[in-house]
Chains A and B, each alone.
Chain A
């Protein structure tokens, strides 16, 4: 049971191992808070769609399963989008169109098709949580590197007198701008992928 939950963190991490959902990953990972917001959105949508796909797996005819999944996913995404606009307007503004694009995030359809329509409700829930958290962790790692190097800040939630932005001396005055740009996203992604591949193969080598 726990296996379904843990696998998304590292062994089958959606970003670094399954290579799913890279488009939003590259696009929104400019600030740490974006990663948290996007991660929360994806976890919610993934949980909702996995639950419903798993519950309805005998009801949905096989021929139209993909349209049915898309309707379910799109509904949850719209809910997230509306709620975010109403209760977290600044976050919704900085995530922009990528909240709506969770619909076509292949993690969600991928998990519905590859997991939830074959498994029980319980393991689908665990799978959704594990994959969602794995996605969030991956996104956090990339956006942390990009924001620190590219902008010299770490943006988290604002509370009290704290405006939510940690400024790192020296880097804040002279940031490596390229990391905020698309090229920097690909660069960071590439190095991280290389690292995960190397780490994975080394582990396999030890077992053999």
Chain B
């Protein structure tokens, strides 16, 4: 009996000391981490909306669409920014995408992801997103390699899962924007 308490007690003591130490480290790093996340989001928002003012975030949680920001220019809604969740090669990918009122993709940024460096991760470059720009209105958003012209298809070789994942999320976002139809 005594040994059980002694053994358990010692283990509990080690855990307690560890917890205190971690709490201290967390209190130092947490504000810093939050600031970095906020900066990344702000940078991405700037890329996605070159003009106009994004409003407050509205949570959605419907399929790939996690939330949206209505974009207003001179008081009138000129488009939306959507936060989308796509499925890539390495799990979930967070995408921030701007749409005009007709559901066309105006810009997109790949945020947190676990894609393969050198392949799927290339989607973090702005040039990559050119393949989706302007799509989603009359033309559908490309979701597979055969939807692309030969040269662009070449550039996603080896990372088609990432490409389709982003495409599908953007396409779902486009459908969502169409149903919003200019309302807040």
Contact = CB atoms under 8 A, between A and B. Distances in A.
Interface of A: 30-31, 34, 56, 59-61, 63-64, 67-68, 71-72, 74-75, 78-79, 82-83, 85-87, 89, 93-94, 96-97, 150-151, 175, 177, 180-181
B116 A181 contact: yes
Contact of B22 (A75, A89, A93): A75
Interface string B1-18: 001001110110011001
Given A61-B7, A71-B18, A83-B25, A89 B117 contact: no
Interface stretch (B28-36, B45-53, B77-85, B169-177): B28-36
Interface of B: 3, 6-8, 10-11, 14-15, 18, 21-22, 25-26, 28-30, 32-33, 36, 40, 90, 112, 114, 116-119, 121, 158
Contact of A180 (B7, B15, B29, B116): B116
Contact of B114 (A68, A97, A151): A97
Given A86-B36, A93-B112, A78 B29 contact: no
Contacts of B118: 30-31, 150-151, 175, 177, 180
Contact of B116 (A30, A34, A67, A72): A30
Nearest to A96: B114
A86 B29 contact: yes
Contacts of A82: 25-26, 29-30, 33
Nearest to B113: A93
A175 B90 CA distance: 22
Contacts of A68: 10-11, 14
Nearest to A177: B158
A64 B7 contact: yes
Contacts of B14: 56, 60, 68, 71-72
B119 A177 contact: yes
B11 A67 contact: yes
Contacts of B29: 82-83, 85-86
A72 B28 CA distance: 20
Nearest to A94: B117
Contacts of B158: 177, 181
B26 to A, nearest CB: 6
Given A61-B11, A181-B116, 4 more contacts: A61-B3, A75-B22, A82-B33, A150-B118
Given A30-B118, A150-B118, A177-B158, A75 B11 contact: no
Contacts of B40: 89
A90 to B, nearest CB: 10
A30 B14 CA distance: 37
Contact of A79 (B22, B32, B90, B121): B22
Contacts of B32: 86-87
A75 B18 contact: yes
Contacts of A79: 21-22, 25
B10 A61 contact: yes
B117 A59 contact: no
